[in-house]
Structure 1
Amino acid sequence: MEKYTLKIIDIIDETDNTKTYFFEKPENLTWEPGSHTHIGHIGFDIGDQPRKEWVRHMSIITLPEENKIAITTRVPGSKSEFKNKLAELKTGDEVVFFKIGSRMGLRRINRPIILISMGVGIATMRPLILSFINDKTNIPYLLNINIDSSDKFVFKNQLDKLADENYKNYWINSRTSFYEMLSKLMKSENAIYYVVGSDAFIKDIIQRLRVNSIKIEEIIIDRKDERKQKFLEG
């Protein structure tokens, strides 16, 4: 297993308690849009067993051509030792990246794509959106729907500037409004659905999609195969 010790080069406050951490990108490191990584605090792998409470699975929010690696997350978290330690880090500190992979690549099969995320889950969608903007081949259009009851939408200003006739954002602060929109989309769009959020949110959206005859293979979530089946078939 290859590990990369990466230095923090910048930290940005996105909204209350939400930060983006930027890291140096090694020249030989690349990844697909929508990739995830494991991040460990320095020392997590010392000893007979790794300290799992110092490790977290997170989405990479940048594209390789941006020449930096970044993650966006809510910090601190009183019940999360990983996030509490992350909140203490400063520019120049280091963490370890390992097990980079992808389950969320864009399906370029001449069907629309609808991205559905809750809160900071928009971080997973950012590189997918940028990839689509850079190359719209075999994707008629893309809709990005983010629901956040706080009304403090991460990346809103940045992503709204990219909107055009093939790409639109919907920022929603009400579950009722969100369900109404989703109901209309399911009836009118022959789309592929990407869903990111809490386990409860993912299960809820999948259930609504399945009731409306959306097939399992048309729903993309960022979970291991064995967990994915439980979500999709539950």
Structure 2
Amino acid sequence: MVKYRLKITDIVDEVEGTRTYYMNMPEDFIWDEGSHAHIGLAGFDEGETPVKEWIRHMSIMTLPDENKIGFTTRKRANCSEFKEKLFQSEIGDEIVVFKPGSRMTLRREDRPVVLLSMGVGIATMRPLVLAYSKNSQGIPMMMNVNVDATGDFLYRKDLDHMVCDCYSNLWLDGRDKLHDFIEELNYGDKPIFYIVGSDPFLIDLIHRLRSKGVEQTDMLIDKKPEFISRFLMVSPKEFDVIL
């Protein structure tokens, strides 16, 4: 396993409590749109065993042709030790990046693509949108839907500049509005769904989309297969409790 020890080159305050961290891209570090990587704080691996609390699995919100690695994260009250230390980081500090992978690469099957994200989950969607804007082959239409109760939508200005006949954004400030969208969506063209958010958000959407006849294979989720299997086993009673 190759560990890339990279310096933070820029820190951008996106909206309140949310930052994007950028690092230079090593020449041999390769990833696709929708990829994730393990992000470790400096020193996490200096002892006999790694400090797991200093590692997170995070989406890469840039594409390789941007010549930088970026990830966006949000800090809330009573946040983790990882977030506390990360938000104390400054330009020039070291970040360790390793084990890139992807479960969210664009499928180009001549079917519409619908991106459904919650809050900072749109970080996974940003490179999908950029990749589509550069090459729309095999995807007749893309819609990006983001739900954020705060109303502070990440990347909104940049993504709204990309709106065209075959690409649109929908910014929603409540889950009920998302449910209305799912009810009213046209499923005749068999869209492919990419879903990113909290576990309750994923469970909610998986069950709602399945009720509309969407096959599980047409829902791409950045989770290991065993996690998705557990979501599918949730009973209606347990589902109500989780939500």
TM-score (norm 2): 0.93
Partner of 1:35: 35
Distance in 2 (CA, whole Å) between partners of 1:76 and 1:173 is 18
- Segments of structure 1 that go 5 or more residues without pairing to the other structure are none
Task: Give the Å deviation of 1:212.
Answer: 1.3
Task: Tell me what 1:146 maps to.
Answer: 146
**Higher deviation after alignment, 97-106 or 174-183:** 174-183
Name the structure 1 match of 2:68: 68
Percent identity for Structure 1 against Structure 2: 47
Gaps of 5+ in 2: 235-243
Root mean square deviation of aligned Cα: 1.2
Other-structure match for 1:95: 95
User: What is the rounded CA distance, in whole Å, between the counterparts of 2:151 and 2:79 in structure 1?
Assistant: 24
Deviates more, 1:45-54 or 1:80-89: 45-54
Cα offset, 1:226, TM superposition: 1.8
- For 2:174, the equivalent position in structure 1 comes to 174
**How far does residue 43 in structure 1 lie from its aligned partner after superposition?**
1.1
Match of 1:227 in 2: 227
- Number of positions where the alignment pairs a residue of Structure 1 with one of Structure 2: 234
Contact 1:77 1:83 in 2 (8 A): no
Report the residue type matching 1:33 in the other structure: E
SS at match of 1:90: coil
TM-score normalised by structure 1 residue count: 0.97
Match of 1:16 in 2: 16
Give the secondary-structure state (helix, strand or coil) at the position aligned to 2:71.
Answer: strand
- For residues 188 and 201 of structure 1, the distance between their equivalents in structure 2, rounded to whole angstroms, comes to 24
Aligned match of 1:155: 155
Match of 1:85 in 2: 85
Name the SS of the counterpart of 2:203 in structure 1: helix
Q: Secondary structure at the match of 1:220?
A: strand
- SS across alignment from 1:7: strand
1:58 counterpart = 2:44: no
Instruction: Report if aligned partners of 1:77, 1:84 keep a CA contact under 8 Å in 2.
Output: no
Mean alpha-carbon deviation: is it higher for 73-82 or for 102-111?
Answer: 73-82
Q: CA deviation at 1:188?
A: 4.5
* 8 Å contact kept, 1:145–1:172: yes
